[in-house]
């Protein structure tokens, strides 16, 4: 009968071997002169590129090509025991086949007067990432400090400026007080609304970026023509306020404004009044309606038509009629906001799309337009030309199937205003009434 005999020393020894074998770092025990007393398989593997003949007998000799002063460093360590060096990077060339150096991290410990321990690990990937990060930092720093016409702005989840940097100061003149303020800070008053700002962030979320061109405002109130791109940052923390979630690049393109404006003008502007033309109006309206689907909000439409315009043309001549149309456009610009879309969509017919404006406010705008036109007769070649307008107002609701139906409603209301005697505002209402 054989009995299992327990040998505690053997078990302990095997446990130690397993520990060394499984350790995720290379462990080497060596004598004070560098002779290797014990090493685990990983350390042998990590040092293999340094071994000339496949032999590893002395650590100082093996590491001499990459850490020539290690022997002196250990010899000079004054204490009886302790850490001689911590996570020193060793750059090994040779077996990386053009993939850059293999990088080892080495920590040396003095165990007692006769024994040292080396801890080795492969940090090639970590080193590569750190270098990449340093390069990116240097690159960004170069952009922020050297390129004069860009401002790089980080925005948080709600579109507030998350941090200040030199480029913001240089392009916009804003100081650190800009931090925490909505990015509308860079736009002229009236050129944007909180809703419009959020729209652009949602657009960036959906498409990967959102780009627009327009006037921007500096801290001193002066304005410049800029392109502004917003892009979501990868790895942003959802819902964290104050944390960067988007980057915005504002670029001063004042010198390119003329070219880009004349191209836009040719395609999208009514040549007589300078307002949007029919094509631009329909495109803007479709865009606004698409935004509305994602984030519902009121939208109103005003149709405006000069009264008895044929008679003006007949009495004062066609050029005088043109002057009246230009005056109507100027009145619309004066009364409406920059975010409203103003267009001439027919001969003497105009339209105003009012994003985020409900029934009461739309009626008030229409009434202001009517009153302003009536109050200010056009003077053309010393002739005073009285003019009035009729206006139809319609507001988007669940029963409006699309922009065409909103337009049809405003048109019906306009027809009612004409029928009731002109120089008045009429509102489209369900059931055929206005």
Ligand X SMILES: Nc1nc2c(ncn2[C@@H]2O[C@H](COP(=O)(O)OP(=O)(O)OP(=O)(O)O)[C@@H](O)[C@H]2O)c(=O)[nH]1
Residue 307 in the binding site for ligand X (CB under 6 A): yes
**Sheet strands (E) in 239-298:** 246-252
322 binds ligand X (CB under 6 A): yes
Contact status: 318 vs ligand X (CB under 6 A): yes
Q: Does position 310 bind ligand X by CB under 6 A?
A: yes
Evaluated on CA atoms 376, 380, 384, 386, the torsion sign reads negative
Measured from the CB atom, the residue of 104 and 407 that comes closer to ligand X is 407
Report if residue 129 touches ligand X, rule: CB under 6 A.
no
CB of 314 to ligand X, least distance (A): 8
Beta carbon of residue 393, minimum distance to ligand X (angstroms, whole number): 17
Looking only at residues 338 through 377 of this chain, which bind ligand X when binding is defined by CB under 6 A?
347-348
Straight-line distance from the first to the last Cα atom of the chain, in angstroms, rounded to the nearest whole number = 111
Residue 167: alpha-carbon gap to chain centroid? 16
Short-list 356, 327, 357, 359, CA closest to 344: 327
213 is catalytic: no
Q: Are 396 and 406 in contact (CB under 8 A)?
A: yes
Query: What is the DSSP code string of 327-386?
Result: HHHHHHHHHS-TTSEEEE-SSSEEEEEEET--HHHHHHHHHHHHHHHHHS-EEETTEEE-
Distance of closest approach, residue 344 Cβ to ligand X, in angstroms: 9
Q: Does 308 bind ligand X (CB under 6 A)?
A: yes
In the complex, minimum distance from the CB of residue 422 to ligand X, in angstroms, rounded to a whole number:
6
Size of interface with ligand X, in residues (CB under 6 A): 17
Task: Kindly identify the residues of this chain, within the stretch 390-429, that bind ligand X according to CB under 6 A.
Answer: 418, 422
Label residues 267-285 b or e (16+ Cβ within 10 Å = b).
ebbbeebebbbeebbbebb
Helix axes 318-335, 309-316, angle to 10 degrees: 130
| Of 321 and 355, CB closest to ligand X | 321
Interface map 223-262 toward ligand X (x if CB under 6 A): ----------------------------------------
The residue (of 417 and 427) whose beta carbon lies closer to ligand X is 417
Among 306, 335, 353, 363, binds ligand X (CB under 6 A): 306
Of 122, 127, 199, 305, the one binding ligand X (CB under 6 A) is 305
CA distances, 380 to each of 91, 102, 106, 122 (Å) = 84, 83, 89, 85
C-beta closer to ligand X: residue 129 or 310: 310
Among 34, 232, 321, 392, the residue binding ligand X under the rule CB under 6 A is 321
**Residues 61, 203, 288, 348: which is the catalytic one?**
348
Question: For residue 56, which of 26, 35, 29, 76 has the smallest C-alpha distance?
Answer: 35
What is the set of active-site residues? 348
Contact residues toward ligand X (CB under 6 A) are: 272, 305-311, 313, 318, 321-322, 325, 347-348, 418, 422
């Amino acid at each position: 009968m054989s009995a299992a005999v327990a040998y505690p020393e053997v078990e302990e020894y095997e446990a130690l071997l397993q520990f060394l074998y499984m350790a995720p770092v290379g462990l080497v025990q060596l004598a004070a002169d560098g002779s290797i007393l014990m090493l685990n398989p990983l350390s042998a593997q990590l040092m293999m590129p340094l071994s000339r003949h496949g032999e590893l007998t002395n650590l100082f000799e093996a590491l001499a090509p990459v850490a020539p002063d290690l022997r002196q460093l250990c010899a000079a360590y004054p204490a009886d025991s302790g850490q001689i060096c911590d996570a020193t990077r060793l750059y090994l060339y040779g077996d990386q086949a053009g993939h850059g150096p293999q990088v080892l991290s080495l920590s040396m410990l003095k165990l007692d007067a006769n024994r040292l321990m080396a801890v080795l690990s492969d940090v090639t990937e970590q080193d590569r990432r750190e270098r990449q990060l340093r390069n990116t930092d240097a690159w960004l720093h170069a952009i922020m400090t050297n390129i004069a016409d860009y401002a790089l702005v980080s925005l948080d989840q709600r579109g507030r400026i998350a941090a200040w940097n030199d480029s913001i100061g240089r392009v916009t003149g804003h100081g650190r007080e800009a931090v925490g303020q909505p990015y509308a800070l860079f736009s002229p008053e009236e050129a944007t609304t909180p809703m419009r700002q959020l729209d652009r962030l949602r657009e960036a979320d959906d498409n990967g970026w959102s780009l627009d061109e327009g006037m921007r405002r500096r801290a001193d109130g002066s304005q410049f023509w800029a392109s502004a791109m917003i892009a979501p940052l990868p790895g942003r923390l959802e819902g964290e306020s104050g944390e960067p979630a988007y980057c915005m690049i504002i670029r001063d393109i004042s010198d390119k404004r003329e070219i880009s404006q004349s191209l836009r003008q040719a395609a999208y502007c009514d040549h007589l009044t300078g307002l949007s033309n029919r094509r631009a109006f329909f495109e803007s309206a479709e865009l606004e309606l698409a935004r509305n689907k994602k984030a519902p909000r009121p939208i109103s439409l005003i149709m405006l038509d000069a009264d008895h315009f044929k008679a003006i043309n007949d009495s004062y001549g066609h050029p005088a009629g043109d002057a009246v149309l230009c005056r109507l456009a100027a009145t619309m610009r004066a009364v409406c906001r920059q975010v409203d879309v103003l267009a001439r969509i027919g001969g003497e017919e105009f339209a105003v799309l009012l994003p985020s404006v409900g029934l009461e406010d739309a009626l008030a705008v229409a009434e202001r337009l009517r009153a302003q036109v009536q109050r200010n007769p056009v003077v053309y070649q010393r002739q005073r030309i009285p003019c009035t307008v009729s206006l139809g107002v319609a507001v988007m609701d669940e029963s409006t199937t699309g922009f065409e139906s909103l337009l049809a409603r405003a048109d019906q209301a306009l027809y009612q205003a004409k029928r009731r005697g002109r120089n008045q505002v009429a509102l489209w209402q369900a059931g055929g009434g206005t």
